[in-house]
Amino acid sequence: MTTTLNNPITDIRRKFQEIPVSPEWCFKNVRSTEQWTHGYHRYPAKFLPNLVQKLIEEYTEEGELVGDLFAGCGTTLVEAKVHGRPSIGVDVNPVAILITEAKTNPIIPEKVELMKNSLYSRIDSFNGTNFEKNNTHQRLDYWFYPEQKLRIAFLYKIILEINEKNLRVFFLVALSNILKNCSRWLQSSTKPQIDPNKVPSDPFKAFKLQVNQMARKNSEFYFNLESTGFIDTKCEIKLEDARATNIVGGSVGAIITSPPYVTSYEYADIHQLTGYWFEYINDLYGFRKDFIGTFYSQNQEINTTSFIGQEIVNALLKKDNRTAREVTNYFNDMSLVGKEMYRVLKTGGHACIVIGNTTLMDVKIKSSEVFAEILTMQGFEIVEIIKRSIPNKLIPTIRDKQSGRFSKLDNKNSKLVYPEEYIIIAKK
């Protein structure tokens, strides 16, 4: 008679190998992510709202607190509000906090209209000579031509004069989202790169266009929430680290989140234009350090507690030391996040984690399997693993073979990654 040992690692690996793609989680025919306030601001690797909606419907009850430890631009919090669930989110990116505040606080439409008209009339009477320029970060001279810079400085100044916080945040988000178009930043790139041939947009025209679109979305969102009775459903967003939050232990009914990918998007770099203008960043180096998944952590560790993770690190050590150390750091950070998730969740609550695998230096980085192992080590029970294919539109599926960074589809050095991702459902 043979005895089969129930090895948790083998078990996790088998679970991931066996699952087919679940068509009901792919949302193949979903074209737009612009409903409600979701389209206020571009944000790399943001959630598909339909996915969050389905998770909320399946894993939460009305009135139950929903948490997101990597809140980003607040997709989970917006959908929680639409569904009458209070929510709490954290992120280390101040730009994410600003966007989420605007997206989760619909404003009485008449108020937006009045403020909009007042700002527009000040813009229309703008005369460079009657405006004293603010002190701004020197890096802004690198990114902006003087004409654009002057106009943006004016917009920033008149927005800061708005007393009511929600209104001020609303217009700041509008300004933040036009900065890239009005700068010399290569338009199609998430990497900080100058396009010497770019003709930047006029800040005043771009701002008005952006505000008009946002005002329409604000009205739709406001009237919807008023009709469902969820307008006052609480949403809290905080500038905190997912590895150690101030969320009360056992208070969260369900977590719906997607962690950053490993060494791919440098959120600190991507949001530097807003960071410099709104004085969130002094030096970029210091700003990068808190972000999980950055290539700039400079960590020296090559040991991780995850068995699957250690195998990956060992394979990377044969190729490139620095990448091996950054991936170790990522896995160790994710262990801390797993522990924090366990702490904040109530007993019986679910953590729903959307996570993709990738390839670096030809080594498969199976972050999904590593995270499933981490969750198991923390005491979670993995109740379901869902596999879904990703619509190309929403996430770059290509990495440059040499740099390992995301690149455009037409790049000759490109290689297909992230055609699929996983949703891990773990129960405390």
Ligand X SMILES: C[S@@+](CC[C@H](N)C(=O)[O-])C[C@H]1O[C@@H](n2cnc3c(N)ncnc32)[C@H](O)[C@@H]1O
Site for ligand X in 291-310 (CB under 6 A): 291-292
Among 37, 53, 60, 93, binds ligand X (CB under 6 A): 93
Helix, strand or coil, per DSSP, at residue 43: coil
Q: Which is nearer to ligand X, 316 or 352 (CB)?
A: 352
What DSSP string runs through 345-367?
Answer: EEEEEEEEEEEE-EEETTEEE-H
What does the buried/exposed string (b/e) look like for 265-281 if buried means 16 or more CB atoms within 10 Å of the residue's CB? bbbbbbbbbbbbbbebb
Q: How far apart are CA 323 and CA 149, in angstroms?
A: 38
Q: CB under 6 A: which stretch of 68-76, 272-280, 304-312, 359-367 binds ligand X?
A: 68-76
Instruction: Note whether 91 binds ligand X by CB under 6 A.
Output: yes
Cβ partners under 8 Å of residue 307, min gap 6: 9, 373
- Tell me if 338 contacts ligand X by CB under 6 A: no
Q: Which is nearer to ligand X, 51 or 155 (CB)?
A: 51
Stretch binding ligand X (CB under 6 A), from 171-179, 215-223, 225-233, 290-298: 290-298
Q: Stretches 101-109, 181-189, 287-295, 412-420: which one binds ligand X (CB under 6 A)?
A: 287-295
Min. distance of Cβ 124 from ligand X in angstroms?
Answer: 35
Stretch that binds ligand X, among 66-74, 134-142, 168-176, 367-375 (CB under 6 A): 66-74
Strands (E), 92-239: 235-239
Site for ligand X in 234-253 (CB under 6 A): 241-243
Q: Does 267 bind ligand X (CB under 6 A)?
A: yes
Q: Which is nearer to ligand X, 267 or 380 (CB)?
A: 267
State the sign of the Cα–Cα–Cα–Cα dihedral 394, 400, 401, 405: negative
CB of 56 to ligand X, least distance (A): 13
Number of residues that bind ligand X (CB under 6 A): 22
Residue 137 tokens, joined: 């970060």
Residue with smaller CB distance to ligand X, 46 or 180: 46
H-run or E-run covering 423 = strand 420-427
For 368-393, letters b (16+ CB in 10 Å) and e give bbbbbbbbbbbebebebbbbbbbbee
Report the residue count for the chain: 428
Cα separation values, 400 from 6, 62, 392, Å: 40, 44, 16
| Dist. CA 83–CA 59, nearest whole Å | 12
> Per CB under 6 A, does 312 bind ligand X?
no
Figure out which of the listed residues 87, 176, 258, 297 binds ligand X, where binding follows CB under 6 A.
258
- Which listed residue (51, 65, 73, 344) binds ligand X by CB under 6 A? 73
**Binding to ligand X by residue 43, rule CB under 6 A?**
yes
56 part of the interface to ligand X, by CB under 6 A: no
Check binding of 75 to ligand X (CB under 6 A): yes
Nearest residue to ligand X by CB is 72
| Among 26, 82, 96, 178, contact with ligand X (rule: CB under 6 A) | 96
b/e for 402-428, b at 16 or more Cβ within 10 A? eebbbbeeeeeebeebbeebbbbbbbb
User: Rounded to the nearest whole angstrom, what is the least distance from the CB of residue 425 to ligand X in the complex?
Assistant: 16
Query: 217 Cβ partners below 8 Å, 6+ apart?
Result: 34, 36, 37, 39, 40
Q: Which stretch binds ligand X (CB under 6 A): 22-30, 85-93, 170-178, 185-193?
A: 85-93
Contact 32, 210 (CB under 8 A): no
45 binds ligand X (CB under 6 A): yes
Looking at the Cβ atoms of 38 and 149, the one nearer to ligand X is 38
C-beta of residue 194 within 8 angstroms of C-beta of residue 171? no
Q: Which of 16, 25, 27, 70 binds ligand X (CB under 6 A)?
A: 70
Binding region for ligand X (CB under 6 A): 43, 45-47, 70, 72-73, 75, 90-93, 96, 241-243, 258, 260, 267, 290-292
